[in-house]
């Protein structure tokens, strides 16, 4: 992480380059943090603003659907007696 005082000479290009090198740049005014610049990961699949498709099978066996999943719930459940 790099801290950088914001001045009139600070350029956006410089901030982007620093963020890519340092992974995080904290901008300060009068030595107090005011903003953070973070790089976006540059994976070949990711595009900013475009949602990625979900990947199936990430947690096989994490949950099980019971055989009676679609059966009506008993009256006791709805009456709060269960």
Only one residue has tokens 């059966």, namely 71
Which CATH number does the domain housing residue 27 bear?
Answer: 3.40.1620
Report CA Rg, the chain.
Answer: 25
Q: Which domain holds residue 18?
A: 1-41
SS3 61: coil
pTM beyond 0.75: the answer is no
**Is position 2 within any domain?**
yes
Strand positions, DSSP E, the chain: 2-5, 25-29, 32-37
What are 45-60's pLDDT values in tens digits?
Answer: 566 677 878 888 888 8
Q: What pLDDT sits at residue 48? A: 66
Q: 22: Cβ–Cβ under 8 A, 6 or more apart, which residues?
A: 1, 2
**Is position 59 within any domain?**
no
Only one residue has tokens 């350029």, namely 11
* pLDDT of 44 over the 60 cut: no
């Amino acid at each position: 992480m790099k801290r950088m005082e914001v001045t009139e000479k600070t350029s956006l290009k410089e901030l982007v380059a620093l963020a890519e090198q340092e992974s995080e740049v904290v901008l300060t005014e009068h030595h107090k943090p005011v903003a953070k610049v973070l790089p976006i990961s540059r994976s070949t699949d990711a595009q900013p603003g475009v949602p990625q498709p979900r990947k199936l099978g990430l947690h096989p066996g994490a949950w099980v659907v019971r055989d009676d999943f679609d059966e009506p719930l008993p009256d006791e459940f709805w009456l709060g007696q269960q």
